[in-house]
Amino acid sequence: MNPLQLIPVDGIPEVKPGDVVAELIAASATLLDGDVVVVTQKIVSKAEGRLIAVDPDDPLSHKRAVLDESVRVLRRRGDLVMTETRHGFICANAGVDLSNVERGFAALLPVDPDRSARRIRDGLRAAANVEVAVIVSDTFGRTWRRGLTDVAIGCAGIAAIVDLRGTEDAIGRQLQVTEVCVADELAGAAELVMGKSEGIPVAVVRGVNAGWLRESSVQREIVRNAQEDLFR
């Protein structure tokens, strides 16, 4: 295996509806073929105009937005609502988020984050003449473990899951642990150099295994359908 580098991209300006994310990235980062560009959902949602007005003095206003974005409520406790979104993501508040958004507004998840990733990838090919992969990331909680980690909600040009089934371990036994969600590991790795409070919304992972660079989709590969799921 080769070393990997995690490189924060400084200098991305505040993003507004209608901005082209790929052009903002191309203006701030020097990219190489094979790089994986991880972009936080927040700037993707802003650029795509996925903002709604909420009344900052009326907590119900935010709550209504959460229910509008949900197909099902799984659990409630206090202010926390765990719901399933139209994408099939299960997360707090259906991903409706007030942080790093202008007062009076909330950011919704992109309608189709895989498509958002493909669009940024195509845009970077056009703007910077590079063949990169793109992951759109968001910050989710987990069951049973405290703390949040960044995971992939959309991807393009990079395997969501690498399937090791049929390969052998170092001592020739069939591997039991087989399907590694590299897209989530890459999203979490990128978070380490992003720093939410510094407002760095993009990071580059350089040196990723070339065998992982292929067409893929978070929706198809990562989202587990309800029948398969043991906990919902």
Q: How far is the CB of 18 from a copy of itself (least distance, A)?
A: 19
Q: Which of residues 193-222 bind a copy of itself (CB under 8 A)?
A: 193-200, 208, 221-222
- Interface with a copy of itself, residue 3, by CB under 8 A: yes
- Tell me the pairing of strands 51-53 and 36-40: unpaired
Q: Which of residues 178-197 bind a copy of itself (CB under 8 A)?
A: 178-182, 184-186, 188-189, 191-197
The span from the CA of 57 to the CA of 54, in Å, is 9
Q: Which of residues 139-168 bind a copy of itself (CB under 8 A)?
A: 139, 142-151, 160-161, 164, 167-168
- Interface with a copy of itself, residue 24, by CB under 8 A: no
- Interface with a copy of itself, residue 232, by CB under 8 A: yes
Size of the site for a copy of itself (CB under 8 A): 76
Q: Which of residues 64-123 bind a copy of itself (CB under 8 A)?
A: 74-75, 77, 82, 89-90, 97-103
The span from the CA of 92 to the CA of 51, in Å, is 18
Q: Which residue has the tokens 């009076």?
A: 104
- Interface with a copy of itself, residue 4, by CB under 8 A: yes
Q: Is the dihedral of CA 179, 42, 103, 106 positive or negative?
A: negative
- Interface with a copy of itself, residue 30, by CB under 8 A: no
The span from the CA of 157 to the CA of 174, in Å, is 28
Between 4 and 53, name the residue whose CB sits nearer to a copy of itself.
4
Nearest residue to 20 via CA among 116, 135, 158:
116
- Out of 18, 57, 60, 229, the only residue in the binding site for a copy of itself (CB under 8 A) is 229
Between 54 and 123, name the residue whose CB sits nearer to a copy of itself.
54
Q: How far is the CB of 28 from a copy of itself (least distance, A)?
A: 14
User: Do residues 89 and 110 touch, judged by C-beta distance below 8 A?
Assistant: no
Strand order of the sheet with strand 90-92? Answer: 70-77, 80-85, 90-92
